[in-house]
Structure 1
Amino acid sequence: MPPVAPPVDSAPVLDEDGVRRTLRRLAHEIVESNQGVAGLVLVGIQGGGAALARRLADEIERFEGQRPAAGWLDVTLHRDDLDRRGLTATPRPTDLPDIEGRVVVLVDDVLYTGRTVRAAMDALNDYGRPRVVRLAVLVDRGHRELPIRADMVGKNIPTAQGDDVRVLLQEVDGRDAVVVVPGRVSS
């Protein structure tokens, strides 16, 4: 299904420059938390997280001169809401380097309920046992349903429960931006 463009009147919370600066800062935080690139693996959660993990690896290589291992992970079969999605939930590819005993940074575009991150941690166990798992997200919008917290956050964006946070990425949407589309107000 092609991405849905946000309404024209939705002002971006992060524009192209804001996304670039935020990713640069996250890349530095990742390297600092690991005290370098040795033993580091970036794992993007399929969807926006996969593209962001590749970009973070590019950025780290730019300032460290060494590229961290990077890959992406599909969490479809580990979700706890498959019955709600129906049987049409089709798994996407997973491509991971060796994660055994390594520092894995899960990367996602938006942290919301925490359910996708829980599914990602379950899926990682199918591929090995990392020494440490950390979480880096471009946007934390709140409204957690599980006790999940990101170690590195690009931007905290307060939202209403019904709002839609859309991360637009050059690779998919032709531009970089983060937009909040207000949800319906119930009376």
Structure 2
Amino acid sequence: MNVKVKTQLLDEQAIRRALTRIAHEIVEKNKGIEDIVLVGIKTRGIYLAKRLAERIESIEGKRVPVGSIDITLYRDDLQEKAEQPQIQGHAIPVSIKEKKVVLVDDVLYTGRTVRAALDALIDFGRPKRIQLAVLIDRGHRELPIRPDYVGKNVPTSQSELVAVHVQEIDGEDKVILLERIGEE
């Protein structure tokens, strides 16, 4: 598949501001950080969750636990994938039983990744509440899933893709809108 860059949606500063706003919203909505656990959906969601934890710590003066979850085996399209999935495992440092879990992901699209993450989370125990924080909500939901915290809403067409780049993996922070060209 060939793609071309259509536009840059967020730069490093805009990502930082969006995450700071989301951190404040998490603290406000939950009336503090009591029993909060952030869980990033691999891969980029984990880095965003860690950044949110840093911002929450700067607001509240206390660190919230951060975990990661790999939804590969919970995907409903696993049989459609030609290659063998790389399983990275889960790392949730505390029990999520009776906790307020905030799932963190980079882009919300169809909702299928979030559904898989919910299934994976429930295998760890039953949280008191699950909330969803995403950097980008691009629409086109196939499942009735709605984020609680959104960095930026970006209406997209089906021929467009949203790519989130994070310093830890890609060497820079930015969000770009790509367009598929030469559809097959």
Q: Shorter-chain TM-score: which interval?
A: over 0.9
Query: RMSD between aligned alpha carbons?
Result: 1.5
1:149 corresponds to which residue?
146
Q: TM-score, normalised by structure 1?
A: 0.92
| Greater displacement, 82-91 / 143-152 | 82-91
Please give the alpha-carbon distance, in whole angstroms, between the structure 2 residues aligned to 1:15 and 1:26: 17
Please state how far the C-alpha of 1:185 moved relative to its aligned partner.
7.6
Contact 1:48 1:108 in 2 (8 A): yes
2:45 corresponds to which residue?
49
Please give the alpha-carbon distance, in whole angstroms, between the structure 2 residues aligned to 1:22 and 1:153: 8
Equivalent residue letter for 1:51: Y
Q: Mark the runs of 5 or more structure 2 residues left unpaired by the alignment.
A: none
2:135 corresponds to which residue?
138
Q: Mark the runs of 5 or more structure 1 residues left unpaired by the alignment.
A: 1-5
1:130-169 deviation digits (Å, cap 9, x = unpaired): 0000000000000011111101111000111121100000
Query: Identity across aligned pairs (percent)?
Result: 52
Please give the alpha-carbon distance, in whole angstroms, between the structure 1 residues aligned to 2:182 and 2:156: 13
Answer 1 or 2: higher relative contact order, Cα 8 Å, separation at least 6: 2
Equivalent residue letter for 1:111: L
Bigger share in strand: 2
Give the length in aligned residue pairs.
180
* 1:108 lines up with 2:122 in the alignment: no
| Secondary structure at the counterpart of residue 101 of structure 2 | strand
**Match 1:170 to one of 156, 167, 175:** 167
Please give the alpha-carbon distance, in whole angstroms, between the structure 2 residues aligned to 1:80 and 1:86: 14
Please give the alpha-carbon distance, in whole angstroms, between the structure 2 residues aligned to 1:175 and 1:107: 19
Q: TM-score, normalised by structure 2?
A: 0.93
